[in-house]
């Protein structure tokens, strides 16, 4: 190696040394000495966390975060963790303390939503989910009134109709019904309810719809779009030329877009109470300067559909599986339903508040399996958060520089043992008595709390009551499988857009006292 090569090598080593020094100084400035500080090579909430396995100091795998529950905070001794990402020189704070979380979620000016995380969902147009500031306020002003009590009432009646159609058309009144996938069942339930309540399109459990022109059916388009969001976000448009299945999914997105455009043109003067029609009416009565254009209307309706479909279907699936694993809780719920509906009649919308055990089972499921496991925020100004130790005996002030990514850890909060006794146990009764409301945020909180919460609850409670009053829910045990092994298998999850249950077979047995 000649002198010239030595000089080049020395120069490269100096550059590398300066790079390392820069990273060390950045680390000391941002993280050094703070509560629960640790380092990873990749951003813990970036794409590598979904693609790579768990590697200490390198990346925290997304699918490992849910199983960790509150354990990461226990390991470091604090309910606020500081994470320095080496490659991006970024600083991330994760929080599992209700007071600090309340501070973040209610201080909108200091901690605005990190909208870049939601931009990929703007397939059909911008929405209340993918925007911030004045644009978000404009969308919320139109969308929130459209989600009225009238729309919730319609959601209840449509859910009852969909469930009766399931019992009569799909199951044919059988005494024993074996379902290969509980998740596929609840995805269909939620889709049929939302199709009627959002679009005014009543779908049947039997495939009886005919294609319109060259388009695929509305039912097929809706199901394909709802089931393939992650694939659509991950693949570029030209991928449709490489794969027949990808092309079919793209065709479904295009067909749904055409259906929604047609609805905008034909629903502006109707008296329908579905969400689409209500939103169009609300938009028409507003100020012309702030009125939504066609793309904005479709974008917002689509987001409400997708948010309502996947979150409702997954939560209902987890609820049914938890009740199957805990027959004593299922019996408690059935006794309540039987007492309120002794003559076997259908439940009414006005009676929804009376089904306290159904709501408790639903809330306990949301605590244990929140659809959205973390809420991304960004710090807009230099500020400070208070960090409690996991035992609550110490507090430390944590400086949060402008530009810091702040993660509200919903799972860490929901499994925090300082606020929930035996947090890994399924105990719906904890929601019948007084419970720590600030430590329960499956719908977020503050100005960005889920505006579809009421409809979400209406649908879930109606499905649960309709099912429990007619059928017992069981999950077959595999040969030689212990209860704990069965429980681990049944409650295994994956993380995509929302927390997702596995494909677990379920058996429904008609109750003998009907």
Q: In Å, what is the CA distance from 96 to each residue of 100, 222, 390, 404, 423?
A: 8, 36, 9, 17, 14
| Listed residue (360, 354, 320, 297) closest to 189, CA to CA | 320
Residue 436 is predicted with a pLDDT of 97
**299 lies in some domain:** yes
Instruction: Convert 156-166 to b/e letters by CB count within 10 Å (16 or more is b).
Output: bbbbbebbebb
467, part of any domain:
yes
| pTM score | 0.89
Instruction: Assess whether pLDDT exceeds 90 at residue 20.
Output: no
Do residues 312 and 453 both lie within one domain? yes
Would you say residue 75 has pLDDT above 70?
yes
Same domain, 146 and 21: no
Q: 316 and 188 share a domain?
A: yes
pLDDT of residue 202: 87
Model pLDDT for residues 165-217, shown as the tens digit of each residue: 999 999 998 999 999 999 999 999 999 998 888 888 888 887 655 566 657 88
The parent domain of residue 21 ranges over 1-27
Please give the full DSSP string across 234-247, using - where no structure is assigned. Answer: HS-GGGGGT-HHHH
Q: From the annotation, which residues make up the binding site?
A: 450
C-alpha span between 438 and 102 (Å, rounded): 7
Find out whether 314 and 500 touch, Cβ atoms under 8 Å: yes
Q: Which of 246, 223, 222, 245 is nearest to 235 (CA)?
A: 246
The CATH number given to whatever domain includes residue 321 is 1.10.630.10
Identify whether 388 is part of a domain. Answer: no
Mean pLDDT of 308-312: 88
What's the average model confidence in pLDDT over 127-132?
88
* Cα separations in angstroms, 20 against 86, 93, 368: 10, 23, 41
* Same domain? 371 vs 231: yes
The predicted structure's pLDDT at residue 512: 82
Q: Report the range of poorest mean pLDDT among 112-126, 267-281, 351-365.
A: 267-281
230-241 average pLDDT score: 75
Q: How many CA atoms lie within 13 A of 217 on its CB side?
A: 12
What pLDDT was estimated at residue 4? Answer: 61
Query: Is pLDDT larger for residue 245 or for residue 19?
Result: 245
- Is residue 42 assigned to a domain? no
- Describe the crossing of helices 133-146 and 294-325 by its angle, rounded to 10 degrees: 70
CA distance 271 to 48: 49
- Counting the structural domains of the chain, the total is 2
Higher pLDDT, 6 or 312: 312
Q: What is the mean pLDDT of residues 72-82?
A: 89
Q: Is the pLDDT of residue 110 over 70?
A: yes
Q: Are 348 and 398 in contact, with CB atoms under 8 Å apart?
A: no
Does residue 76 lie within any of the structural domains?
no
Residues 355 and 206 in one domain: yes
Candidate from 100-109, 295-304, 469-478 with smallest mean pLDDT: 295-304
pLDDT-based confidence at residue 387 (cuts at 50, 70, 90) = confident
Q: What is the mean pLDDT of the chain?
A: 86
Of 437 and 86, more confident: 437
Q: Which residue has the higher pLDDT, 422 or 386?
A: 422
140 and 22 within one domain: no
How far apart, in whole angstroms, are the C-alpha atoms of residue 216 and residue 253? 10
pLDDT score of 248: 86
Task: Clarify whether residues 137 and 15 are in a common domain.
Answer: no
* 138 shares a domain with 12: no
pLDDT (tens digit, 9 = 90+) per residue, 1-13? Answer: 556 666 666 666 6
Residue 34 has pLDDT above 60, yes or no: no
Feature table: binding site for heme: 450
- Residue 221 in any domain: the answer is yes
Q: What is the pLDDT of residue 336?
A: 97
Q: What are the strands of the beta sheet with 90-95, ordered from one edge?
A: 37-40, 80-85, 90-95, 405-409, 374-378
Task: Answer whether residue 93 is part of any domain.
Answer: no
Whether the per-residue pLDDT at 33 is higher than 50: the answer is no
Of 29-33, 214-218, 313-317, 484-488, minimum mean pLDDT range: 29-33
pLDDT of res. 48: 74
Interval 298-308 mean pLDDT: 85
Interval 225-247 mean pLDDT: 78
- 197-459-312-253 Cα dihedral, nearest 10 degrees: -10
Residue 332 lies in a domain: yes
CA atoms of 105 and 109, how far apart (whole Å): 10
Lowest mean pLDDT among 36-40, 284-288, 327-331: 36-40
Q: Over pLDDT 90: what percentage of the chain?
A: 46
Strand partners, 113: 377
Q: pLDDT tens, 485-500?
A: 999 999 999 887 789 9
């Amino acid at each position: 190696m000649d002198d010239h090569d030595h000089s080049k090598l020395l120069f490269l080593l100096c550059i590398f040394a300066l790079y390392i020094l820069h990273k060390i100084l950045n680390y000391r400035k941002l993280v050094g000495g703070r509560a629960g500080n640790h380092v990873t090579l990749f951003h813990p909430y970036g794409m590598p966390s979904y693609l790579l396995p768990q590697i200490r100091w390198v990346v925290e795998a997304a699918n490992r975060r849910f199983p960790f529950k509150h354990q990461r905070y226990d390991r470091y001794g604090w309910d606020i963790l500081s994470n320095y990402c080496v490659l991006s020189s970024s600083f991330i704070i994760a929080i599992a303390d209700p007071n600090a979380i309340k501070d973040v979620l209610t201080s909108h000016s200091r901690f605005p939503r990190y909208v870049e995380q939601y931009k990929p969902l703007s397939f059909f147009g911008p929405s209340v989910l993918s925007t911030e500031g004045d644009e978000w306020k404009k969308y919320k002003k139109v969308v929130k009134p459209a989600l009225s009590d009238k729309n919730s009432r319609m959601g209840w009646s449509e859910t009852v109709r969909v469930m009766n159609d399931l019992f009569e058309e799909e199951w044919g009144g059988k005494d024993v019904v074996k379902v290969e996938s509980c998740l596929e069942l609840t995805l269909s339930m939620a889709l049929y309810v939302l199709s009627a309540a959002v679009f005014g399109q009543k779908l049947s459990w039997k495939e009886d719809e005919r294609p319109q022109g060259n388009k695929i059916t509305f039912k097929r388009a809706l199901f394909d779009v709802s089931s393939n969001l992650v694939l659509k976000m991950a693949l570029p448009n030209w991928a449709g030329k490489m794969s027949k299945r990808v092309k079919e999914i793209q065709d479904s997105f295009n067909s749904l877009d055409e259906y929604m455009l047609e609805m905008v043109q034909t629903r502006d003067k109707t008296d329908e109470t579905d969400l689409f029609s209500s939103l169009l009416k609300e938009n028409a009565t507003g100020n012309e300067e702030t009125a939504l254009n066609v793309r904005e209307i479709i974008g917002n309706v689509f987001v409400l559909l997708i948010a309502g479909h996947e979150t409702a279907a997954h939560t209902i699936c987890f609820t049914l599986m938890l009740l199957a694993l805990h027959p004593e809780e299922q019996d408690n719920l059935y006794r309540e339903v039987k007492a309120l509906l002794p003559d076997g009649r259908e439940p009414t919308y006005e009676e929804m508040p009376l089904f306290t055990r159904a709501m408790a089972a639903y809330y306990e499921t949301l605590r244990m399996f929140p659809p959205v496991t973390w809420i991304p925020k960004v710090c807009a100004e230099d500020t400070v958060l208070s960090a409690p130790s996991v035992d609550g005996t110490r507090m430390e002030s944590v400086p949060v520089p402008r530009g810091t990514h702040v993660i509200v850890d919903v799972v860490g909060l929901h499994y925090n043992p300082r606020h929930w006794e035996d947090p890994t146990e399924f105990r719906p009764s904890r929601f019948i008595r007084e419970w720590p409301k600030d430590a329960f945020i499956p719908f977020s909180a503050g100005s960005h709390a889920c505006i579809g919460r009421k409809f979400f609850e209406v649908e879930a409670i109606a499905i649960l009551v309709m099912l429990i009053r007619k059928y017992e829910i069981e999950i077959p045990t595999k040969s030689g499988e212990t209860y704990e092994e069965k429980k681990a298998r049944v409650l295994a999850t994956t993380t995509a857009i929302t927390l997702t249950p596995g494909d677990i077979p379920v058996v429904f047995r008609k109750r003998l006292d009907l």
